[in-house]
Structure 1
């Protein structure tokens, strides 16, 4: 039997936390509030809370599993070890397709803020290719770039919130009330906003690259998620107070629009720079995470073994990441932002369904959290998937079927 190459452990707690923040902040603050407001109005705040609770349950399951299985691959590995090869493949395929859609969404968000009309798609393609090249030369440089991007994004968010709160609030800024659109709409907004929380999975995929992963990975997941939850709540309240739910639903850049009403002429450009930086940070972290999961799947032949190669100098799964970049470029040229967000949520929620079921089976020796958290997380994932926009569900089922058929054919041929 051939010996598989092993990745180097170079990252500490701060690196893992910043990579998690870079995966989460860009999507939720600058992309997901608009479709969530279109679905539920000001009820998106309840949706945000629901999404955060489901994310917390999923985070504790991921942390508990990562402590027992400190290796690359995340829930793909956990599902294989705890439930069997088919559930593991299901999780890995859902992660790959969901996060590939997230890459498309982040590239489009970056271009929407950074490029003039008519140039968004070419700029989005250039962003994908540039960040794939950055990631190609090694994970330590990826962590450094992500730290810089997250700091810039957080400063811009602080400016946007301060400017928005300093502007004239819109009368009856919460519209028909938190429950005005009904619970189905609120749950749909929760599913769309969950897309923004899912970055903590990026941390769990770093099992082979983090020093002392049994201690660092669980702590990094909880810290990054808690910080993100606070940021989202502050921004959500700000844009609703300033623009109202209708204004948020019809504005592609609600925080920048809120800042523009403040009378601070410099605030809106700062927010736009921060949005572009946050989108790049999320895109960079997503490319890295998908590459590691693809590596783990290729090692088990659940993807072509050709993708299992590590670069002899840079120690990254370079073939998997080049293939990912090409797929994302095609998606950017053919898809739209709202569809990418819904499709991403479909794949990621099913991925975490397997994580919760896997954590449920762990023995007392490896248990860090009560089982009711895993049960709540599994029920929450299924509920949010069922309430996503129908088009996202249908496309997701089709792509999911393609992956399952691929594995079935491969097993039969073998």
Structure 2
């Protein structure tokens, strides 16, 4: 990315990280849980994410660390085990996010070409793996979007979604089809908010390369406070249109392509084609941006001794080994996982980490820079989301519950073995307050 990115570029990066691929992958899953109150689920998730974003801003101001969660933990608690576990958990969250984007890409591609299998192999899985492999290759050789290009891409993506929402609301209002879902209030939207949490994580990527952002602290603060509410407004419009024009039952059965089906209702095949192509473009772009940022994040973890040194590559600004490892894990997730399982796992990781950062900020409430109320809301909100999502998966998606549980336990076990023993040659206390 180019040096000295300003507020416009920072907002574009944060907004692009959230709506770039998240809405196309998450909406159908959220509607499946909350029905016509999907819009409320996005409001709740966005509000908690905004409180977590405020906590990140305050932690960034209180420390000299510019590498996100792991460096904040290390700087304020001096516990490299907790810092490393937070870093690994985030990394798996980014892998889950990319797998979710790749799954949505493959689903829209399959729907567009109208072919389910090629030589006996599922087109959805093939397309998902191919798009991941393509961006692994591009990132391995150092190809990435500049800040100026990111602004243009985000403007296009936002314009398409805003147009979808505006035209859909107009069409639905004229035909008297718009519905708020107010008559079906219950715990469903809160559960769905937990599932949708992954759709509000993109702003955090700003924390990993602050050296390229002009007046980084102030710019990132403004970018977070602008981008999250903007994403919420867009999600509300898209959710209301989709749940008003397409039956909940259909969306539940076909969550991957819900937006394109809704667009066909008021703009025919052209609208369906525009949304489908936008979904391909947006999810592919989200994979690329997240892969780039998560690789920089991995490099920071390696520099701080929180990932094995053998993964590093001092000869390249963009180390190839982390790119390849992250790419292989992403491909495995999207190849063998379900959309519900991938989305739930990714949301689970960000709920845990964002809740932890809210708690860490709350612990600093005695400092004049920190007001306890906002971090407390982030802490309580994520604390509520976690058990509700687990309960939902257990009661409604039992197979997803077991698969997510097994993966989470394995990740936690590997983290504990790595940071608490010398089996992998890791030495405790190596982490520093540098980037990571």
Same fold? TM cut 0.5: yes
Question: Which residue number corresponds to residue 75 of structure 1?
Answer: 69
Aligned: 1:396 with 2:408 = yes
The correspondence of residues 369-388 of structure 1 with structure 2, limited to 5 A, is: 369-388=370-389
Relative to structure 1, is the Cα distance of residues 113 and 332 closer, same or farther in structure 2, using a 3 angstrom cutoff? same
Distance 1:348 1:299 in 2: 23
SS state of the match for residue 103, structure 2?
Answer: helix
The alignment yields a C-alpha RMSD, in angstroms, of 2.7
C-alpha displacement of 1:182:
2.7
In structure 2, do the counterparts of structure 1 residues 412 and 129 end up closer, same or farther at CA, with 3 Å as the change threshold? Answer: closer
Cα deviation, residue 109, structure 1: 0.9
CA 1:283/1:143 → structure 2, altered by over 3 Å: closer, same or farther? Answer: farther
Distance in 2, matches of 1:140 and 1:10, equals: 16
Alpha carbons of structure 1 residues 362 and 181: separation in structure 2 relative to 1, 3 Å: closer
Following superposition, the deviation at residue 103 of structure 1 comes to: 0.7
Range with bigger deviation, 210-219 or 274-283: 210-219
Please point out which of 146, 154, 176 is paired with 2:150: 146
Partner of 1:353: 355
Deviation track 1:164-218 (CA, whole Å, cap 9, x = no partner) reads: 235457877649x4463631x2221001111101111111222233232222221
The 4+ residue runs of structure 1 with deviation greater than 6 A are: 169-172, 363-366
Distance 1:352 1:406 in 2: 23
Between 380-389 and 206-215, report the one with greater CA deviation.
206-215
Deviates more, 1:132-141 or 1:378-387: 132-141
Q: Residue 95 of structure 1 corresponds to which residue in structure 2?
A: 90
- Give the aligned partner of residue 410 of structure 1: 422
TM-aligned CA distance change 1:200 to 1:348, over 3 Å: same
CA distance in 2 between partners of 1:276 and 1:311 (Å): 34
Deviation by residue 1:210-260 (Cα, 9 ceiling, x = unmatched): 232222221222222122111111111111221243343333222211111
The CA deviation at 1:28 is: 3.6
How has the CA–CA distance of structure 1 residues 279 and 140 changed in structure 2, closer, same or farther, with 3 Å as cutoff?
closer
Change (3 A) 1:162 1:172: closer
Tell me how far apart the structure 2 counterparts of residues 70 and 157 of structure 1 sit (CA, whole Å).
38
Whether 1:31 and 2:25 are equivalent positions in the alignment is yes
Q: 3-state SS of the aligned residue for 1:182?
A: coil
| Residue 346 (structure 2) aligned to one of 339, 344, 347 | 344
Question: How does 1:176-255 map onto structure 2 within 5 Å?
Answer: 177-178=181-182, 180=184, 182-183=186-187, 185-252=188-255, 253-255=257-259
How many residue pairs are counted as aligned between the two chains? 403
Question: Quick check: 2:334–2:342 contact (8 Å CA) kept in 1?
Answer: no
The separation in 2 between residues aligned to 1:277 and 1:148, in whole angstroms, is 13
Q: CA deviation at 1:328?
A: 1.2
Partner residue, 1:3: none
Q: What residue is the counterpart of 2:120 in the other structure?
A: none
Q: Which residue of 2 aligns with 1:269?
A: 273
Q: How far, CA to CA, are the matches of 1:355 and 1:263 in structure 2?
A: 44
SS in 1 for 2:95: helix
**Aligned pair partner of 1:287 in 281, 284, 291:** 291
Kindly indicate whether the alpha-carbon contact (under 8 Å) linking 1:174 and 1:244 is maintained by their aligned counterparts in 2: no
CA 54–310 in structure 1, closer or farther in 2 if over 3 Å, else same = farther
Corresponding residue for residue 100 of structure 2: 105
Displacement of 1:311 after TM fit? 4.6
- Alpha carbons 1:71, 1:207 under 8 Å: kept: no
Residue 85 (1) aligns with residue 80 (2) = yes
Q: Secondary structure at the match of 2:306?
A: coil
Deviates more, 1:261-270 or 1:345-354: 261-270
**CA distance in structure 2 between the aligned counterparts of 1:114 and 1:372, rounded to whole angstroms:** 45
Summarize the Cα distance change of 1:133–1:22 in structure 2 as closer, same or farther, 3 Å threshold: farther
Unaligned runs of 5+ in 2: 118-122, 395-400, 428-436
Report how far residue 329 of structure 1 moved. 1.9
Contact kept, 8 Å, 1:71 with 1:206, in 2: the verdict is no
Could you say what secondary structure the match of 1:262 adopts?
A: helix
Shift of 1:379: 1.6
Check whether the contact 1:32–1:341 (CA below 8 A) recurs between aligned residues. yes
Q: CA deviation at 1:411?
A: 7.9
**CA deviation after TM superposition for structure 1 residue 23, in Å:** 1.2
Q: Write out aligned runs for 1:284-323 (5 A).
A: 284-312=288-316, 315-323=317-325
